[in-house]
Structure 1
Amino acid sequence: MKNSALEQRFRCGPIEASYENSRWFSGFMKVLYLLVGIYFFWLMTGEEMLVEHLDNWAVLAFCFWRIHRQDDVMCYVADKGLIVRRQFRSLREFYDDQFHEERNLIFLPYKDIFLISDNWQEIQLGQAEEGGIAVLPVHLQFLSKKNKQRLIDRIKKAHEADDDD
């Protein structure tokens, strides 16, 4: 999805930055899917009938699709908040994440972000009072350390600006 479409959809102001998974993780996953694809291609060479190939073709297609999707943006930093990729919780949401990636994007205003968990798999939203916090599972655990620090700094900057107002 283009930045202008995201800005219009979420009304989040200009997008300042976008963050993908770290290069190391993306490269590792590409090699892993490539090896799985090669293995299933090798299995396919021993089969004679077309019907026997169908399951291998399906696995090959999935591997190539996942190799292509490794460079997806996991988080956008906008003027008014973050746009993050929500973690899927069901098979239907997994399907949506594969073919309709924009459906799993969610906008979080900076003022609502309370805490990012240590493992970067959850963002706590709301206020520090009983029953005032909601937990949102997200896909941020594989960002690079530098990008994680940039996100924390941007959230702190926004919170400080809100305190000054």
Structure 2
Amino acid sequence: MTSVKAEPRWLGPGEARAWRAYVIASELLRRQLNRELQDNHGLALPDYEVLVRLSEREGWQMRMSQLAGQVASSKSRLSHQISRLEKSGLVRRSGCPEDARGVVAELTQKGMEVLRTAAPTHVDGVRSHLVDLMSPEEQAVVAAVFERVIAHLDLS
């Protein structure tokens, strides 16, 4: 017995326009924000995002598995990233007190200083390249749409 595949639900012109604009704009925005952090602070955007997540936690620390979910990274990729940040003295790893198998990443004082120095550059970029280009109503729509996408795709 052969199964008949349903015809794909092809994107209409408006749907294709929205999709392509998102793909191109998000890539250009991340590239620009990364360039600004690299040029001014020698810090890559993904590393900045890790430092921010840690800085927002009590004790500046978080389980590696939770951190991976927060920055939309695989555990393996995050482990390599944390190794680089450790070599730079920005983060350190330690065992998890609640679970002997768990590992905790912790922001160091040097990491916090780098973050405090880089944050104004990042927020200026986010504001000038995205936030200030939208009305408050558009900001609410963008937030709602992508929170829905995150909820749909979050497998953690």
Q: TM-score scaled by structure 2?
A: 0.30
- Higher fraction of strand: 1
